């Protein structure tokens, strides 16, 4: 297999682990390459994930942010497996002490766990896709925003809130959960709409069919930000219009035998 290694570089341990795992995989006969930032740390020839990139597998060493950033960099989705070098690590299925055992056992064809993503357009321009969520939030504290929500062209709600989360089932255990949204099985394909600190108690979360087109209109003169997967942000202004649809490219996670509810129990309920 051709395997690309991606690692967070702000701590010494993940970089050292990236080195040792690379040596191990090469000893097993795999072709190993390194993403630009970790390659620079280790002195290897770098590869870019966004320019004609191809590999059979990407191994990500880090936390959920590292996985989200890696998936967002890819022009074409490639199977990903994460080794937890962060905190909760809900998207990183392998703990450090099991890394060598699990990676050694992998072979083609890889067992996959596809995860739905959402594509986002802002005022007619694509701003990419999100695996966890897109968030519209006031850029000034204590300033409330007004939203209009349309499903397949029909207005279903109008409310005021500090912000709005448009999430996926994978993202239901992230920001959306903290804002009062439900935990949704990651094998379900749907979109979550979760208001942030709504002015009216009647403003509740929605679970929307993934085949629907969701339109969000910001009816406010107050400045706001659009934040995608906690990685990229855009300033949006009065009468901003966002269209959200199911992405044609799901994220591809390697299935290492850890069920969704097992992770909920371990990562969330036992914290």
168 in a known ligand binding site = no
65 in a known ligand binding site = yes
Per DSSP, the residues of 90-150 read TT--B-GGGHHHHHHH--SSPPEEEE--EEEEETTEEEEEESSEEEEEESSTT--EEEEEE
Q: Tell me how far apart the alpha carbons of residues 82 and 59 are, in angstroms, rounded to a whole number.
A: 6
132 in a known ligand binding site = yes
190 in a known ligand binding site = no
176 in a known ligand binding site = yes
55 in a known ligand binding site = no
Which is catalytic among the residues 52, 64, 75, 185?
64
Q: Tell me how far apart the alpha carbons of residues 151 and 189 are, in angstroms, rounded to a whole number.
A: 16
Which residues 6+ apart lie within 8 Å of 241 measured at CB?
Answer: 122, 123, 124, 215, 216, 217, 218
Look up 157 and say whether it is catalytic: no
160 in a known ligand binding site = yes
Rg (C-alpha) for the chain, rounded Å, is 20
Q: Tell me how far apart the alpha carbons of residues 215 and 220 are, in angstroms, rounded to a whole number.
A: 16
56 in a known ligand binding site = no
209 in a known ligand binding site = no
Active site residue ranges: 64
Known binding residues? 64-65, 69, 132-133, 143, 160, 162, 173-178, 197, 231
| Binding site listing for NAD(+) | 64-65, 69, 132-133, 143, 160, 162, 173-178, 197, 231
């Amino acid at each position: 297999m051709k395997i690309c290694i991606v690692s967070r570089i702000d701590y010494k341990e993940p970089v050292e682990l990236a080195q040792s795992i690379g040596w191990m995989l090469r000893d097993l006969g795999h072709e190993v390459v390194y993403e630009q930032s970790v390659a620079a740390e280790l002195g290897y020839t770098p590869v870019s994930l966004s320019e004609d990139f191809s590999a059979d597998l990407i191994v990500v060493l880090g936390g959920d942010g590292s996985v989200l950033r890696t998936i967002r960099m890819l022009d074409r989705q490639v199977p990903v497996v994460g080794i937890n070098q962060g905190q909760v690590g809900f998207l990183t299925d392998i703990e450090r002490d099991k890394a060598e055992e699990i990676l050694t056992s992998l072979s083609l064809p890889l067992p996959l766990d596809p995860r739905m993503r959402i594509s986002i357009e802002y005022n007619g321009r694509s701003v990419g896709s999100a695996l966890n969520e897109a968030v519209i939030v006031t850029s000034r504290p204590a300033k409330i925003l007004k939203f209009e929500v349309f499903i397949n062209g029909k207005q279903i709600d109008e409310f005021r809130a500090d912000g709005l989360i448009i999430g996926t089932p994978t993202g239901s255990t992230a920001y959306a959960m903290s804002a009062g949204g439900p935990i949704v099985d990651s094998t379900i394909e749907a979109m979550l709409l979760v208001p942030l600190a709504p002015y009216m108690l009647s403003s509740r979360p929605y679970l929307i069919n993934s085949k629907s087109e969701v339109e969000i209109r910001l009816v406010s003169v107050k400045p706001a930000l659009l934040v995608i997967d906690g990685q990229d942000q855009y300033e949006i202004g009065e009468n901003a219009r966002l269209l959200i649809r199911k992405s044609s490219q799901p994220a591809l996670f390697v299935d290492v035998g850890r069920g969704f509810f097992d992770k909920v129990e371990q990562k969330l309920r036992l914290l």
